[in-house]
Structure 1
């Protein structure tokens, strides 16, 4: 019997996971902006899988007002696939409709979204998850799976085994994790690499990682994050298709001249062909950045344990300044030496 799923966000991740489930017969209803509804109605969802097979959802159902949830049949669970900077606002919008909202599988990057969901809606509303598959989006609602890895899902919820089975039937390679915090922090380590520097400097990850001074800074942010994790007793865990423990070991213990060639290959595989998300948001003029919820989280958690995180602080404050216009992007664009000099 098919399940009813409410998907918050119809961007790349929401369309990939929600669309894959819909292609397997699940009843998926997307919630997003009115302009997304127009895209859906014109082109549906097309998913080009890693093996080049194609899934099409010709007429996906999308709602643009939360009032429409009231008139729908009850949902079994929800998917949360909005950007982290939109989580709190969306949760407050959901409060009047709380009795209609099912447990939410939190597919977002960062380590604080689940806390926000639980603080506003209640403890049992959040099911942590992490997507490691590299996904691109082009031509409206065409989703391209650049590298199939999988999805990590917390085993804490009674719904977790059922959700895992549904995700695996859809070919999404889901694995359960007992330590959700370790899963989310380990995923964040992979999100940090070359992300903020790429946006600040308007350079590709390859250009950053091949520069030994920028590589040193980039690995410095990872070492700071690992120090914060250690202070909280959060272990690094491997994620589906992603050997995060090896990455963390190389980042922390190997001399830079040894780790650089190894990690360039690792990070290039993880990124796929697209620019990092911070760069995409900045270039698209969103006026918001998830840096506050990734590098910024490292800073906040570090402060609580009196751990200094100067690189993550610089990356957070600089990129937020560029994003909100208090720092001109041209001050840093294609000027790597300015960042290098800051840390020398």
Structure 2
């Protein structure tokens, strides 16, 4: 990791060039300049349209959570000249205010100014927000929902959750109402390099699906203006369960064994356990009437078919390369949390959620129940990690 005071490679202090694709329909009806106008008038027309687009797309956004994902969205929105406030822990808020947020992607590092608050009583949270992005761990969703509900500035805001796991939308809707909730599935791999520096892959994007009947189509233009690939999807449950299938790959089993994904896929016993978790997940989805769907650069529907029909050795070889390319050198999230000695784990919203939904449907998902119990037990200190490190047979 680099020192905090190392100069940034490049600092963006101006409004970046926007893509015109989302606003092409404005051309020709927003400004009535005839086609035969001279070059000077045409330049003025284009300048006016750019200002109009900026006014239409400008969105004041509150990001709840200053971790890797929260900072990634802060950078992407700031890149589109949006007004961004990050609600983070005191240490992170202080660093973000002092240094801005840096995004490394595609061989470039760009730094953006953002505002950060460490308390919901901070004056930065006054005024009105059009969008709230929830980027906290799944076990903090209830707390985040209560916080947002208590902010007058967020009364009319759409609430986008980009969290891992299933159940976050339902939890937020209890406090905020379903019509305000938008489910998001982010398939960009994001890693935290330093306190205010995140690295992201160029692959992937964000799929969106509303939970209730509210209209949130304007989010596509607002979120894509900073270079993020955004796609609207139908069926928020299919969206989140499809992302769950991807999150299960090379994650909980890696955490329990203290292995990287390549080690799991190189071991037949460890891979057999992970395959069982995936098959149980797909069985629960079938029981609930949820169909897998392809996400941006991650064909979850294709994965579902492959898990069911390919012989285990062929599937192991196929997934090994796919998961390794997708993750790169990034630690699986559940393993990173265990190594950081965090006492709580998101595994309960991943594998644990599969087991609980199976139980509610009158079925069982023993592999998911087992791995969830093990990882959560290691995190809380109830189980000794050394009893599972490098021991697939212990699962």
TM-score band, normalised by shorter chain: over 0.9
The residue that corresponds to 2:180 in the other structure is 125
Distance of aligned partners of 1:245 and 1:123 in 2 relative to their CA distance in 1, 3 Å threshold: closer
Distance of aligned partners of 1:71 and 1:327 in 2 relative to their CA distance in 1, 3 Å threshold: closer
Cα distance in 2 for partners of 1:174, 1:272 equals 23
8 Å Cα contact 2:94-2:116 kept in structure 1: no
Which of 184, 200, 203 does residue 145 from structure 1 map onto? Answer: 200
8 Å Cα contact 1:5-1:76 kept in structure 2: yes
1:96 Cα deviation after fit: 3.0
1:316 Cα deviation after fit: 0.7
Task: Provide TM-score, normalisation by structure 1.
Answer: 0.94
Cα shift readout 1:290-344 (whole Å, capped 9, x = no counterpart): 00111111011101112210000000111111111111111111222322xxxxx
The residue that corresponds to 1:52 in the other structure is 107
8 Å Cα contact 2:250-2:264 kept in structure 1: yes
Which of 40, 59, 67 does residue 121 from structure 2 map onto? Answer: 67
Greater gyration radius: 2
- Where in structure 2 are the equivalents of 1:180-329 lying within 5 Å? 180-329=236-385
Cα shift readout 1:159-210 (whole Å, capped 9, x = no counterpart): 5321111222111100000111101100010001121111111111110111
Structure 2 unaligned spans of 5+: 1-54
Distance of aligned partners of 1:147 and 1:217 in 2 relative to their CA distance in 1, 3 Å threshold: farther
8 Å Cα contact 2:161-2:181 kept in structure 1: yes
1:157 Cα deviation after fit: 5.9
Structure 1 unaligned spans of 5+: 340-344
The residue that corresponds to 2:166 in the other structure is 111
The residue that corresponds to 1:134 in the other structure is 189
Aligned-residue RMSD, C-alpha: 1.6
Q: Does 1:31 align with 2:31?
A: no
Which of 214, 220, 234 does residue 178 from structure 1 map onto? Answer: 234
Which of 135, 146, 151 does residue 92 from structure 1 map onto? Answer: 146
Count, aligned residues:
337
The residue that corresponds to 1:342 in the other structure is none
Q: Which runs of 4+ in 1 moved over 6 A?
A: none
8 Å Cα contact 1:136-1:146 kept in structure 2: no
Cα distance in 2 for partners of 1:107, 1:233 equals 23
